[in-house]
Amino acid sequence: MMKKCILFLSCIAFIFAIPVQGKCEALKKEDISYNLGVFGNINYKTKDRDTQHHSFSLGELDLYGTANYERMSFLTELLIEFEGQAIELDMERIWIGYSFSDLFTLRAGRHHTSLGYWNRTYHHGKQLFVTVERPFVIAFEGEGGIIPAHIVGLEAEGRVSVGAINLKYELQVGNGPTITSDGKLDPNNSSDDNPSKEWVARLSGTSPVLPGFTFGLSGTSFKITQADNTIINEKVAGLDVSYIRGELDLLGEVFRFKNSDKEARLGYVQAAYNISKYSVTPYVRHERMDVEDGDPYLDALGGRKDRTQDIAGARYDINERSSLKAQYRRDKEKSSDTKNVFEVQWAFAF
Amino acid sequence: MKILFAALFCILSLNSFVFAEEILIIVNNNGPLVNISDEDIKKVYKGEKRFEAGVKIIPVELDSVKEQFLSSFIGTTSKDYRVHWTKKVFQDGIQPPATMPSIDDVVELVKMENGAIGYVGRKGFKDESNIKIIKTIK
């Protein structure tokens, strides 16, 4: 209780510090530069798989801070969420890093895994999303996701130009995830529950010849120890492509999950077009997950069925710090009712 | 009426001509950036290049010509540039280039730091000692 109080008070202090320091993009003081920011969102949606009635909801309050000193950098991202009557505090990211060169930056701490494009581009900042939520196929662990979205350990990152191609690599090693008794992935923040470590890698490229175009290949390998001590050896391979230039915003990611018995395929494609004259961005997205019955990894996560989701909506930018989004979502799961959901979000970033 | 519109158009055109100032990109004369390419300068201001020959690059901007620099050299608007840096700070934990209020501030920093790069308007730029102009943007 005391710990929660202290954490909560720290958050309040953090929030109140923002108007004082957050106005400037970077404040320089004795060669240390700081940056503080907040993302937040308020939502309304009709009933869906998780809610019984149409409801308003307080979204996440995402507080982040960075500091830089010489070649060192530090980042923390703290999320305040509302779960029923309770307030939940989640340290989503916290790392310290040292840049040796453009080719090699080393970081230690808790990171978002470099699986695909979305997870490391938007993090928890909903004002950065065109849509209301991230695709269900790459949902976070606590929201029933099957992708290990966080890792505690080391990360190496670097960039190199090869001819007309700018390559970026991201390599992570850390505690592999576990599956909790309520069937959710957990990144094992304080200790690993088996001796093997999770590896994650992504190689992505851009080119001035094709401005706005990015391609990426990523993958991970990890072991899950089940309650009966049997081990699931899971491998994930991903391909992502994006084209973001001018008014057009195109994204696509596919992943293949494979263990010794079964495999699952999932992915999404998203298209958005900004009509700058009206500050409006209409968008569409198609998401899909195909699974095999009896997959031990998905069964340990409470089971998954084939599912598709189609979204059509529009985002209105009130200004560069805030947006209103309204969308229709058709959520279709095998052997289950199709859900037609209408949702609205007011997102902001300061 | 047509003449009035034509006159207004001429005045507006003249205004944009008068206010479009030559911009000079400057670096420390003894630093590693004296031969940096245009493509790499763009990467520096977008936070995608942070080192040259083992030296940390310190980019700085001049408030009064920032808009012009962004549109004519980087190829973006100040709004899109701010959004880009909001994402960059959030993703990589790095800081955006510091924006200086006066030419003297930019010049002083570029003189002091081997890895510094900045831009200034041609008007008011006098002190060229220990500084190399690597590009002129018209």
Are A25 and B96 in contact by the 8 Å Cβ rule? The answer is yes
- Are the beta carbons of B87 and A121 separated by less than 8 Å? yes
Are A107 and A157 in contact by the 8 Å Cβ rule? The answer is yes
Residue A34: predicted pLDDT: 87
Range in A49-63, A225-239, B11-25 the model is least confident about: B11-25
Residue A323: predicted pLDDT: 96
Measured at the alpha carbon of residue B102, what is the angle toward residues B99 and B104, in degrees to the nearest 5?
Answer: 115
Residue A52: predicted pLDDT: 83
Cα–Cα dist B60/B62, whole Å: 7
**Nearest C-alpha in B relative to A167:** B48
Secondary structure (DSSP) of B39-71: HHHHHHHTTS--EETTEEPEEEEEGGGHHHHII
Residue A208: predicted pLDDT: 86
Q: What are phi and psi of A338, to 5 degrees?
A: -80, 135
- Whose tokens are 């080393």? That residue is A106
- Decide the pairing of beta strands B131-137 and B116-121: unpaired
- Are the beta carbons of A73 and B91 separated by less than 8 Å? no
Q: How confident is the model at residue A93 (pLDDT cuts 50, 70, 90)?
A: very high
Q: Alpha carbon B64 to chain centroid distance?
A: 10
The pTM (predicted TM-score) of the whole model is: 0.84
- ipTM at complex level: 0.80
Segment A327-333 mean pLDDT: 95
B5 touches chain A (CB under 8 A): no
Residue B79: predicted pLDDT: 87
Cα–Cα dist A100/A103, whole Å: 8
Q: How confident is the model at residue A5 (pLDDT cuts 50, 70, 90)?
A: very low
Residue of A311, A303, A312 whose CA lies nearest to A335? A303
Per-residue pLDDT for chain B (138 aa), expressed as one digit of tens each?
Answer: 555 555 545 444 444 444 578 899 999 999 999 999 999 999 999 999 999 999 999 999 999 999 999 999 998 888 889 989 999 999 999 999 999 999 999 999 999 999 999 999 988 888 778 889 998 888
Q: Cβ of A349: how many Cβ atoms within 10 Å? A: 21
Q: Cβ of A293: how many Cβ atoms within 10 Å? A: 10
Tokens standing for residue A40: 């937040």
Our CA-based measurement puts residue A304 at a distance from the nearest CA of chain B, in whole angstroms, of 31
Q: Alpha carbon A226 to chain centroid distance?
A: 26
Residue B85: predicted pLDDT: 92
Spans of all domains in chain A: 68-74+89-349
Q: How confident is the model at residue A32 (pLDDT cuts 50, 70, 90)?
A: confident
Q: Please state the length of chain B.
A: 138
User: Which of A18, A27, A29, A66 to mutate against chain B (most B CBs within 10 Å)?
Assistant: A66
A167 touches chain B (CB under 8 A): no
Q: In chain A, pLDDT over 70 holds for what percent of residues?
A: 91
pLDDT digits (tens, 9 = 90+) for A236-256: 999 999 999 889 999 999 999
Our CA-based measurement puts residue A66 at a distance from the nearest CA of chain B, in whole angstroms, of 5
Q: Alpha carbon B111 to chain centroid distance?
A: 16
Our CA-based measurement puts residue B29 at a distance from the nearest CA of chain A, in whole angstroms, of 22
Residue of A246, A249, A241 whose CA lies nearest to A267? A241
Q: All domains of chain B, ordered by start, with CATH? A: 21-137 (3.40.190.10)
What residues of A are in contact with residue B36 (Cβ under 8 Å)?
none
- Whose tokens are 């929201």? That residue is A143
- For residues B123 and A28, the model is more confident at B123
A136 touches chain B (CB under 8 A): no
What residues of B are in contact with residue A71 (Cβ under 8 Å)?
56
Residue A223: predicted pLDDT: 94
Residues whose CB is less than 8 angstroms from the CB of residue A272 and which lie 6 or more positions away in sequence, other chains included: A130, A248, A249, A250, A281, A282, A283, A284, A315
B92 touches chain A (CB under 8 A): yes
Our CA-based measurement puts residue B91 at a distance from the nearest CA of chain A, in whole angstroms, of 6
Cα–Cα dist B53/B58, whole Å: 13
Are A158 and A104 in contact by the 8 Å Cβ rule? The answer is yes
What residues of A are in contact with residue B51 (Cβ under 8 Å)?
99, 101-102
- Are the beta carbons of B79 and A320 separated by less than 8 Å? yes
Tokens standing for residue A270: 């998203």
A68-74+89-349: what fold?
A: Porin (2.40.160)
**Interface subset of A 195-254, CB within 8 angstroms of B:** 208
- Are the beta carbons of A66 and B93 separated by less than 8 Å? yes
Residue A183 has pLDDT above 80, yes or no: yes
pLDDT digits (tens, 9 = 90+) for A276-319: 899 999 999 999 999 999 899 999 888 889 999 999 999 999 99
Tokens standing for residue A248: 């057009």
- Decide the pairing of beta strands B116-121 and B58-62: parallel
Residue B11: predicted pLDDT: 47
Cα–Cα dist A317/A324, whole Å: 6
Secondary structure (DSSP) of A173-225: EEEPPEE-TTS-EE--SS--SSS-EEEEEEEEEE-TTSTTEEEEEEEEEEEEE
**Nearest C-alpha in A relative to B81:** A320
Cα–Cα dist A178/A192, whole Å: 8
Catalogue the long-range contacts made by A49-58 (C-beta closer than 8 Å, 24 or more residues apart). Answer: A49/A331, A49/A333, A49/A339, A57/A82, A58/A82
Segment A107-123 mean pLDDT: 94
Segment A100-122 mean pLDDT: 95
A162 touches chain B (CB under 8 A): no
- Please report, for residues A190, A209, A211, B33, the alpha-carbon distance to residue A163 in angstroms, rounded to integers and kept in the order given: 43, 11, 15, 20
**Interface subset of B 25-54, CB within 8 angstroms of A:** 39, 48-51, 54
Cα–Cα dist A221/A219, whole Å: 7
Residue A193 has pLDDT above 70, yes or no: yes
What residues of A are in contact with residue B60 (Cβ under 8 Å)?
none
Which member of A25, A101, A120 has the closest CB to residue B96?
A25
Our CA-based measurement puts residue B36 at a distance from the nearest CA of chain A, in whole angstroms, of 14
A74 touches chain B (CB under 8 A): yes
